[in-house]
């Protein structure tokens, strides 16, 4: 066996080391490239996720801040004004003329009609009790021309129906009627209270709401109203009006704080009722307010202790 010169062996070892170093350098370079690619992929993926999240948040914010569409044309300030003949007035409910709590309306001949304003929730049990005790009486006053009534449906108790938002859906149904069959609004208002479900129950379904509304005599545009109920066309508008009223924006009143439903005002003065509701108490309040203006009713009507509703605030 022939031994190679020492110099040749050293040179060979150096070559092997150099080759190993070169292979290691290439491996490190490839590893760095793979890591850069992985980081870039993660960054791109994260960017896509963040962009998608930002888009969703933006859409939610835009939707939440987007103003509701206009309410019914007969409810420019959230309520519909019913006057003699039980038909809507062309003026706005809760107009400037009605917003003064010391208005001079009286029940005397030739005087301005007494203006009754009501904020109601169709799930509110106290609203239903007030309606039962006083609706016939109010209707008699309006029919005789002695009074007008502003009705503002709101949804204070939207969270008291096991998630179905019955208050909002019922108020939306009333708004649908105000738009498409306003002459029947007072009758529909009564029908909704007659069919009032108990608080903390799911309430009526949309199909049942359509049946209640459609069963009112003289109702028109039934298919339009049915679609309006299904679409909750005025749901967002009802929600915004409820928020505004709860925050102290109360047309027809000088109140700064909303006391809850039912809120009943006569010429802007709050009716502070006692329980149980009686027509005698409310009738006395109407007569007192009507007689507190610049004109005094002549002759002054005298309330009678009977539950039979009548237009006793009128001059005979």
Out of 39, 66, 93, a domain closes at 66
If asked whether residues 84 and 173 sit together in one domain, one would say yes
Are residue 60 and residue 88 in the same domain, yes or no?
no
Residues 29 and 161 in one domain: no
Structure tokens at 230: 């299904």
Distance from C-alpha of 243 to C-alpha of 111, rounded to nearest angstrom: 35
Q: Are residues 208 and 118 in the same domain?
A: yes
State residue 5's pLDDT score: 64
132/13 same-domain check: no
Say if CB 226 and CB 179 are below 8 A apart: no
User: Buried b vs exposed e over 58-81: b needs ≥16 C-beta within 10 Å?
Assistant: eeeeeeeeeeeeebbebbbbbbbb
Q: Tell whether 312 is covered by a domain.
A: no
Please check whether residues 97 and 186 belong to one and the same domain.
Answer: yes
Beta strands 147-153 and 114-120: pairing type?
A: parallel
pTM above 0.85?
Answer: no
What integer pLDDT is reported at residue 313 of this predicted model?
38
Question: Structural domain of residue 50, as residue ranges?
Answer: 7-66
Q: Is residue 283 part of a domain?
A: yes
What does the alpha-carbon distance between residue 28 and residue 97 come to, in Å, rounded to a whole number?
A: 86
DSSP 8-state symbol, 300: P
- The pLDDT of residue 157 is 97
Locate 59 and state its tokens. Answer: 């859409």
Per-residue model confidence as pLDDT tens for the chain (316 residues): 555 567 777 777 777 877 778 787 777 877 777 777 767 665 666 555 455 555 444 444 444 444 557 899 999 999 999 999 999 986 444 433 333 333 333 344 457 899 999 999 999 999 999 999 999 999 999 999 999 999 999 999 999 999 999 999 999 999 999 999 999 999 999 999 999 999 999 999 999 999 999 999 999 999 999 999 999 999 999 999 999 999 999 999 999 999 999 999 999 999 999 999 999 999 999 999 998 753 333 333 333 333 333 333 333 2
Same domain as 162, residue 51? no
Q: Are residues 128 and 256 in the same domain?
A: yes
- The pLDDT of residue 31: 78
Instruction: Identify the CATH number of the domain in which residue 97 sits.
Output: 3.40.30.10
- Number of domains present in the structure of the chain: 2
Position 191 in a domain: yes
Q: In this structure, are residues 125 and 277 in contact, taking their beta carbons and an 8 Å threshold?
A: no
Q: How far apart are CA 42 and CA 39, in angstroms?
A: 5
Long-range contacts of 233-236 (CB under 8 A, 24+ apart): 233/69, 233/172, 233/175, 233/176, 234/69, 234/71, 234/72, 234/171, 234/172, 234/175, 234/176, 234/179, 235/168, 235/169, 235/172, 236/68, 236/69
Residues 96 and 24 in one domain: no
At residue 68, the pLDDT reads: 58
Please indicate, yes or no, whether residues 108 and 217 belong to a single structural domain of this protein.
Answer: yes
Cα separation values, 182 from 15, 120, 189, Å: 100, 17, 11
CA 68, CA 115: separation in Å to the nearest integer?
28
Q: Report which secondary-structure segment, H or E, holds 270.
A: strand 269-270
270 inside domain: yes
CA pair distance 283, 274, nearest whole angstrom: 13
In a domain, 136, yes or no: yes
174 and 242 in a single domain? The answer is: yes
Q: Give dist(CA 278, CA 256) in Å, integer.
A: 27
- Note whether 160 and 197 are same-domain residues: yes
CB of 137 closer than 8 Å to CB of 186 = no
């Amino acid at each position: 066996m022939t031994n190679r010169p020492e110099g040749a062996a050293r040179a060979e070892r150096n070559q092997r080391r150099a080759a190993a170093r070169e292979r290691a350098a290439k491996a490190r370079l490839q590893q760095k490239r793979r890591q850069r690619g992985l980081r870039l992929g993660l960054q791109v993926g994260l960017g896509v996720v963040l962009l998608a999240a930002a888009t969703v948040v933006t859409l939610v914010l835009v939707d939440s801040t987007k103003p509701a569409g206009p309410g019914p044309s007969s409810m420019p300030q959230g309520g519909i004004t019913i006057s003699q003949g039980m038909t809507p007035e062309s003026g706005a409910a809760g107009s400037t003329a009605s917003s003064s709590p010391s208005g001079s309306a009286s029940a005397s001949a030739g005087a301005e009609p007494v203006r009754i304003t009501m904020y109601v929730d169709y799930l509110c049990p106290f609203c239903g009790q007030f309606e039962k005790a006083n609706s016939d009486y109010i209707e008699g006053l309006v029919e005789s021309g002695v009074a007008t009534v502003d009705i503002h449906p709101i949804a204070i108790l939207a969270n008291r129906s096991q998630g179905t938002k019955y208050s909002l859906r019922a108020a939306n149904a009333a708004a649908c009627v105000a738009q498409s069959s306003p002459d029947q609004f007072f009758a529909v208002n009564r029908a909704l209270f007659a069919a009032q479900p108990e608080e903390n129950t799911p309430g009526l379904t949309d199909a049942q709401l359509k049946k209640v509304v459609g069963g009112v005599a003289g109702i028109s545009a039934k298919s339009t109203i049915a679609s309006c109920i299904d679409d909750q066309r005025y749901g967002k508008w009802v929600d915004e009006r409820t928020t505004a009223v709860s925050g102290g924006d109360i047309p027809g009143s000088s109140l700064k704080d909303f006391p809850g439903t039912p809120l009943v005002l006569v010429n802007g003065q709050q009716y502070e009722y006692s329980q149980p509701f009686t027509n005698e108490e409310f009738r006395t309040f109407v007569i007192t307010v009507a007689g507190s203006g610049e004109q005094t009713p002549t002759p002054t009507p005298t309330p009678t202790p009977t539950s039979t509703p009548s237009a006793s605030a009128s001059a005979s």
